[in-house]
Amino acid sequence: MNGNVIGCARVEMHVLDKTVERLEAEAVNSTKSRQPLYAPRKKIFPKRASGSFRRFKWLVMVITLGIYYLTPWLRWDRGPFAPDQAVLVDLASRRFYFFFIEIWPQEFYYVAGLLVMAGIGLFLITSTVGRAWCGYTCPQTVWVDLFLVVERAIEGDRNARMKLDAGPWTTRKLVLRVSKHAIWLVIAAATGGAWIFYFADAPTLIGEVFTGTAAPVAYITISVLTATTYTFGGLMREQVCTYMCPWPRIQAAMLDENSLTVTYNDWRGEPRSRHAKKVQAAGQLVGDCVDCNACVAVCPMGIDIRDGQQLECITCALCIDTCDSVMHKLGKERGLISYTTLSDYNANIAVATAGGSGPVNPSLVRTADGTFSDRLAHFHIRKTFRPRTFVYMGAWSAIGLALLYSLLTRERLEVNVLHDRNPQFVTLSDGSIRNGYTVKLLNMVPEPRTIVVAMQGLPGAEMSIVGIDLPAGRSFAIPAEPDRLKMLKVFVRQPANQVEGIVQTFKFRVEDKASFESDEYTATFNAPETAR
Amino acid sequence: MSSEHIDEVSGISTTGHEWDGIRELNNPLPRWWVTTFYITIVWAIGYTIAYPAWPMLTSATRGVLGYSSRNHVKNELAAAEAAKAKYVAAVESKTVSEIAADDALREFAVAAGGAAFRVNCVQCHGSGAQGSKGFPNLNDDDWLWGGKAEQIQQTITHGIRFASDPDTRVSEMPAFGDIITADQIAQVSTYVASLSGLVGDASLIEPGANVFAENCAACHGENAKGNKELGAPDLTDAIWLYGPGETAIAAQVRAPKHGVMPAWIGRLGETKVKELAVYIHSLGGGE
């Protein structure tokens, strides 16, 4: 612990212009004070923010948590032969159910396609509105927000928490800490507990979990996810984003000069001053930033946004909210910190520095009556549409449409055929040649069907099916169980005088007479050269 | 160490080594690492008490949990046997025809019989049961001793010409080289070959038919269709255990070969034999 930290913990408030409180906040992870990597973590005590972005984040939190916790409980009627859980990953039977879609393992490319779409979607979002994934929807962000809600409710806001943390261990501190961690653990257990319901019938499983009769893997999963949620959300927080997560690096590479990022507009903020009126009276330049440190105090990542764009910044926009409210109180325009593109920022800094010829002069961005100069650049929605985003949108839509087309036209009846290789053929007593096949019928709908299996080609040949007590023929009606693979051992026999060569091809055709769905498989028929 | 070198930037002492001006800070190991290391030591001690570990003169310490990998395997095998028990019991109590008629039971018996076949039968009959010269192909529909599931079971149980089993299937074709003349052998061979459409010297067919009627029809039947009661092969079909054509037939008339198949009941037991019979019956030639 060095002096900075103790200074950080000291609580002092100055009243500035009688409207804005100044916070003694120092950015833990600021560029200036950045520690070598081998250093203990400094705790961050984010202050509560309020404003439109904070409201949006509450909304996103409610929606994402709602989706996560409630999805397994949605029901979807698929008839008597399939589970009625709307979203279910049935690993034991190797089926994945998603509302009206049922996926067999060999159709996993739909999931792969969705993941590719998610990746490209992330590129698109990042290149337009920056690290929105990190700031709003990432589970790490959402759960840390949730854990912070608990922390604030129990220990109070920033100053109270810092005081408690620096103070000695008293009964009160012990009670507060124990209750905070207990609630965190309950949330973590609920998080881990919700996960397992995606893999089994939720109403059944919840009973089993609480009566101790669920499978060991359920308890192991709950324990592991409880531990990770508690550790990541409660204890590690911003360190997960800064040190563990690869996304910040990847997402930063997706940004360009037209991507919106949370930016401190120093072209109007600098030179910052805590005593604007005095400085102004002394005839010196003064910018809009009153150095109240509110942006630092609310930052969950412990950075000072005024140092510029940084790796740690998850663009949660809470500094925008808090700075806007300060600007509002001071009667100045909002947007000292704002979502801005690098190109707009560069244009405006050029205005403020008269083309880079001097330090920032905030009077250059304003007209004589104090309003902003019309030479300033503003974000326009037009900038979202540029070749790069068109490519992303195009690729994203193309994959999406291809998946949709494939999904709507996919066959729910398939046939696969394996030709016996040992022996390849058998000569029978009347000289005719017999080949054996394993025919796999895939009835991929959750209802029983009667599938007609027929031969096409191979003149004179007839087939018989092991276990089906019918005379040999060229077509059989096979009852297929719902949502199952039916394996048939089929013998095809061709009279010797109709054998044409040592290899002939023919087709197995399967058809559901009710839905007219059909599939074909081209198989070979082998015969010895001596077939008479 | 003569003098401790302190890094100017960090104020931390270095290890004293230097590589091209690069020095290594003498930082302590991370606490979590050291803690984990000590935990592994404690764990190791506990492990060697709980599980077999310390080598002694003749064996190793047994460990207080009483674990052994042999028992582990034994338990797994017992569990596998228990899982099969339901089917094995059904196979024991039912006849082979009943087994073959029950889809689930047939599937089990075919899998179990196939495994037994690959261990005990492939040496003669081949891995695909396709046989070879002198060893019958079990896929086809030509059966010396009958192709019904029960008949196959009988053959496997008691074997063929297996002297030590009193119930074994026995047939022995005389060596006609000592009974009829070489000319007659040529005639009857041509006649028998002509029955399945193989063309020979047409002038030998009629005398051959006479030789056949006098010497062969008793076992092979007047129409040469054979007799499964006696194990006499059908001479009119396309399948020849010792090869098709007049030469191969003549050799078999002159001095017949007689294959031997062991009785398997003693070695495999009734259940395995039933499974094997169902498997053979399912290969496509079963009657």
As for the ipTM of the complex, it is 0.79
Angle of helix B205-215 relative to helix B182-195, nearest 10 degrees? 100
Does B163 reach chain A within 8 Å, measured CB to CB?
no
* Residue that is written with structure tokens 């159709």 in the block: A107
Q: CATH number of A413-526: 2.60.40.10, 3.65.10.10, 3.40.50.1100, 3.20.20.70?
A: 2.60.40.10
Smallest CA–CA distance from A435 into chain B, residue:
B284
What's the token pair of residue A117? 């779409």
Taking alpha carbons only, the member of A94, A86, A2, A72 closest to residue A42 is A2
pLDDT single digits (tens) B222-278: 999 999 989 999 999 989 999 888 899 999 999 999 999 999 999 999 999 999 999
Q: What per-residue confidence (pLDDT) applies to A4?
A: 40
Query: Is B56 among the annotated ligand-binding positions?
Result: no
Smallest CA–CA distance from B107 into chain A, residue:
A467
Q: Write down the domain spans for chain A.
A: 43-110+126-246, 256-379, 413-526
Taking alpha carbons only, the member of A440, A438, A520, A453 closest to residue A486 is A440
Query: Residue range B194-217: average pLDDT?
Result: 86
- Sequence-distant (6+) residues with CB within 8 A of A392 are A120, A123, A124, A127
Which of B140, B228, B235 would best serve as a mutation to test chain A binding (most A beta carbons within 10 A)?
Answer: B140
Does B137 reach chain A within 8 Å, measured CB to CB?
yes
Q: What per-residue confidence (pLDDT) applies to A401?
A: 97
Q: How far apart are CA A98 and CA A86, in angstroms?
A: 6
- CA separation (Å) from B161 to A138, A147, B141, B171? 79, 84, 22, 7
Angle of helix A202-211 relative to helix A171-196, nearest 10 degrees? 130
Query: Is B261 among the annotated ligand-binding positions?
Result: yes
Global pTM reads: 0.76
The β-bridge relationship of strands A413-419 and A433-443 is antiparallel
Q: What per-residue confidence (pLDDT) applies to B27?
A: 84
pLDDT single digits (tens) B120-178: 999 999 999 999 999 999 999 999 999 999 999 999 999 999 999 999 999 999 999 99
Smallest CA–CA distance from B101 into chain A, residue:
A467
Percent pLDDT > 70 in chain B is 98
Domains for chain B: give ranges and CATH numbers: 1-67 (no CATH), 78-162+267-281 (1.10.760.10), 176-254 (1.10.760.10)
- Based on the number of CB atoms within 10 Å of its own CB, is A241 exposed (0-12), middle (13-18) or buried (19 or more)? buried
Q: What DSSP line would sit under A149-190, residue for residue?
A: HHHHHHH-SHHHHHHHHHS---HHHHHHHHHHHHHHHHHHHH
Contact A457, A498 (CB under 8 A): no
Query: Residue range B90-99: average pLDDT?
Result: 94
- The Cα of B284 is separated from the nearest Cα of chain A by a number of Å equal to 7
Does B128 reach chain A within 8 Å, measured CB to CB?
yes
**Contact map slice: B 216-235 vs A, CB within 8 A:** 234
**8 Å CB contact of A489 and B282:** yes
Which of B239, B240, B241, B280 would best serve as a mutation to test chain A binding (most A beta carbons within 10 A)?
Answer: B239
Taking alpha carbons only, the member of A210, A226, A214, A198 closest to residue A73 is A198
Tens of each residue's pLDDT in chain A, 532 residues: 343 433 333 334 444 455 667 777 777 777 666 665 556 778 899 999 999 999 999 999 999 999 999 999 999 998 899 999 999 999 988 999 999 999 999 999 999 999 999 999 999 999 999 899 999 999 999 999 999 999 999 999 999 999 999 999 999 999 999 999 999 999 999 999 999 999 999 999 999 999 989 999 999 999 999 999 999 999 999 999 988 998 888 887 888 889 999 999 988 888 888 887 888 788 788 888 999 999 999 999 999 999 988 888 999 999 999 999 999 998 888 999 999 999 999 999 888 888 777 788 888 888 878 788 888 888 888 888 889 999 999 999 999 999 999 999 988 999 999 999 988 999 998 889 999 999 999 999 999 999 999 999 999 999 999 878 889 999 999 999 999 999 999 999 999 889 988 999 999 999 998 888 999 999 999 999 876 5
**8 Å CB contact of A422 and B127:** yes
Angle of helix A139-155 relative to helix A158-166, nearest 10 degrees? 70
Rg (CA), chain A: 34
Q: What per-residue confidence (pLDDT) applies to B264?
A: 96
Reported confidence tier of residue B16, pLDDT bands at 50, 70, 90 = confident
